[in-house]
Structure 1
């Protein structure tokens, strides 16, 4: 479509002819001077083409541009709605975090089966399981005690070995914005930085029951049912400290030490006052 030299009529400036135009502006020569306008917006309200065929083609262009503009505005509005929704969610999370009271047993120890011993470290997340009975039967279990101060301890035991030989495979801090009571899918993801996997040799030196004890039966070491248990914040700190001292690789040792310090800060634990491990194995 060529608009050069096409006759037009403007409401204020009268009859003129198009001198030049591009995607955003148009210049028209009137009787006494040239005028520039926004193209194609000026047509319709202020400017009319004399050539009806060209005017019809231009209407199609204007309609298309209006549709594109409306779509762009719709997307902007959707983006604003999404931003408002995310902001409200952030405010809600901040309120939850601000009002959160530390539970003395807000750490999780997880029993990894053979498959999970690999997948837990590939995906750096575990699944809390499903509810076994009641109205919510079959729905994922919410790890309600877990918060941003929580860590997940990964453990395993060979089926032929006694429970006292359960060993620690690794540990991770929960994801930075994880809140257990808001967890709908049952998956507990790891922190982007604070995550540690032990070698087989290191794992052999980290027996779980060195730290964990059932206070009701302090010398009894049993894990009858369930994929996980909650346990004491101090016990997790003891484990992290021992892992830091166990690591021989300088980078891994530094990360483990940073993990320990971060954990103590999040759980209001004074590292210098941390008691020695006194789990069931230590009481035999």
Structure 2
């Protein structure tokens, strides 16, 4: 925009003529002296172009610069927020790791009977069962290994099917305030956000024994007794990663991805180094 020789008025200095200007400054010759002003800022308050078409064009430039300025400020604010958020996450992670020693097998797989296949998802919790013998017979089992880094895997098998066909129905992180060592009633509630239920089609593609193996008898697939058993943190990460690939719904897939990343962070698992599933089903 060429403003040389354009007439302007100033509240204090009166009428003047522009003699020089660039992207950041403008020089105006008034009756008694020449003055330098910041361009285009001075035209917002102190200066006014006499030509209306020039004034309108300059207003457009000023508005555009104001929008750009606000966008720059917003970007800087977002960068600061992101830095603070990352710092907070680092401090929280350091605090968590300082006060809690991770157990390599702090995940739970739960055997759902027909009734529990519905209640587990409607109530988003499972019951660890009761102790069968000894001094504490009849009292709820205490899931002592479960902590905020733990997830509960819900599985089921049709009574007519062999154990190798055990399907994964869903999974949830334990509630944010849950501590297995302090659990007296045997109820294991779900996290407020990280919980996933699989569709029947998804479940039919996800077999528990693809990931799990019994260390004492790695070639056998048998559950024997009990409602639950603990298993390896890496196996749970493998399952969550495969759930991500199964989810077609955009929102559910995004939640599954967030779940997976959160789980890996809580269990100090490097995503890039996660091994491929190598459960008993992968060996037959």
TM-score, structure 2 as length reference = 0.66
SS state of the match for residue 230, structure 1? strand
Runs of 4+ aligned structure 1 residues displaced above 2 Å come to 95-99
- Residue of structure 2 in register with 1:166 after alignment: 166
Whether contact under 8 Å (1:156, 1:166) holds in the other structure is yes
- Residue of structure 1 in register with 2:194 after alignment: 194
Cα pair distance change 1:273/1:267, threshold 3 Å: same
- Residue of structure 2 in register with 1:141 after alignment: 141
- Residue of structure 2 in register with 1:121 after alignment: 121
Whether contact under 8 Å (1:218, 1:283) holds in the other structure is no
Indicate the RMSD between aligned Cα atoms, in angstroms. 1.3
Matched ranges for 1:228-247 at <5 A: 228-247=228-247
Q: Does 1:215 align with 2:215?
A: yes
SS state of the match for residue 196, structure 1? strand
- Residue of structure 2 in register with 1:104 after alignment: 104
- Residue of structure 2 in register with 1:277 after alignment: 277
- Residue of structure 2 in register with 1:25 after alignment: none
Cα pair distance change 1:187/1:97, threshold 3 Å: farther
SS state of the match for residue 103, structure 2? coil
Number of residues paired by the alignment? 190
1:36-75 Cα offsets, whole Å, 9 max, x none, are: xxxxxxxxxxxxxxxxxxxxxxxxxxxxxxxxxxxxxxxx
Deviation at 1:217, TM superposition (A): 1.7
Deviation at 1:254, TM superposition (A): 0.2
Deviation at 1:98, TM superposition (A): 4.7
Gaps of 5+ in 2: 1-94
- Residue of structure 1 in register with 2:260 after alignment: 260
- Residue of structure 1 in register with 2:206 after alignment: 206
Structure 2: distance between partners of 1:119 and 1:127: 11
- Residue of structure 2 in register with 1:151 after alignment: 151
Structure 1: distance between partners of 2:199 and 2:229: 23
Structure 2: distance between partners of 1:96 and 1:246: 31
SS state of the match for residue 139, structure 1? coil
Gaps of 5+ in 1: 1-94
Deviation at 1:135, TM superposition (A): 1.2
Whether contact under 8 Å (1:105, 1:233) holds in the other structure is yes
Structure 2: distance between partners of 1:97 and 1:232: 18
Structure 1: distance between partners of 2:192 and 2:241: 20
- Residue of structure 2 in register with 1:83 after alignment: none
